[in-house]
Copies of this chain bind each other. A is one copy, B any other.
């Protein structure tokens, strides 16, 4: 025998299923005595309404979706994602709304995933890792799938957006390093077609007045290492490097040390995202904590508001905190330190 249905409950309570439905939804008044009978019957039968049937009839899945197109390998070393999801869930939990997650690789798979969401798996989605020109924005519009975009999206669009000010912490970081005497400050960015990478890089370029020491990485330890090697090989090498995430920063400073440089004495290093281990490294890594939990929370709240019919809105979450730690402490090294080549050869 399968699970009890609403009909079983109705029969047990001596009413029709419409009455049972109304007793729970409250969309029609039901007398207290009938209600009590119904609830008692439901309790006795251990009835749980079928979320499938409910979804079909009510035309809502009571679920929101997240489609991740990151490479699993990157995801695994990502400080942002779990905390972000926690934030999202912290809001959804209270509304009996589920989170549907889909990880994909490749544009076709991603399109398929969004169509699946639109086909009724989810009532709306949260879009991460926005590109500066993102095909998903028009695509989701065409699908008529409610969405909240994470990150400022300049092009015209009608979606709610949750922005974060990535520029200010970068500027502060540059100012901090300047104050310590650094003049050659480099930046290893994330892929520049991401809005957040681009925003950070743009703030950096604006702060230091040029892109001579800007290198485009891809958030992996490998790229952090390679680009650090490249920067340190320059004739007039930087004395400080800002990385777009902690993974690259740590790979970079690991490399620098393997080349005999001291951090921060010979090279100041700062990361981004404040991985939970960063404070425990030695020297502890200066980083920018961006409270992904809170951003997830706000994004979820915003999406629920959209779904409730409120007009789309762009909210800015002020959540970045500069964590100045030992990796950027102390004065800058001499302007022209011993060329690295000598140590290496």
Contacts and interface: CB of A to CB of B under 8 A. Distances in A.
Interface in A32-91: 48-53, 55-56, 59, 61, 63, 72, 75-79, 81-83, 85-87, 89-90
Interface class of chain A by DSSP: helix
A102 B98 contact: yes
A250 interface: yes
Contacts of A259: none
A277 B247 contact: yes
Interface stretch (A113-121, A156-164, A184-192, A234-242): A113-121
A85 to B, nearest CB: 7
Quickly give the copy total for this chain: 2
Nearest to A99: B101
A90 B103 CA distance: 8
A81 B103 CA distance: 14
Contact of A118 (B48, B79, B120): B48
B82 A119 contact: no
Interface residues of A, number: 60
Contacts of A99: 100-102
Contact of A119 (B51, B100, B251, B278): B51
A280 interface: yes
A213 B204 CA distance: 50
Given A55-B55, A254-B282, 18 more contacts: A50-B56, A52-B52, A56-B56, A72-B293, A75-B86, A76-B82, A76-B276, A77-B277, A78-B82, A81-B82, A93-B103, A96-B116, A98-B116, A98-B121, A247-B277, A250-B280, A275-B277, A277-B281
5 contacts: A52-B56, A52-B120, A55-B55, A221-B280, A281-B282
Interface of A: 3, 48-53, 55-56, 59, 61, 63, 72, 75-79, 81-83, 85-87, 89-90, 93, 96, 98-104, 109, 112, 115-116, 118-121, 144, 221, 246-247, 250-251, 254, 257, 275-278, 280-282, 292-293
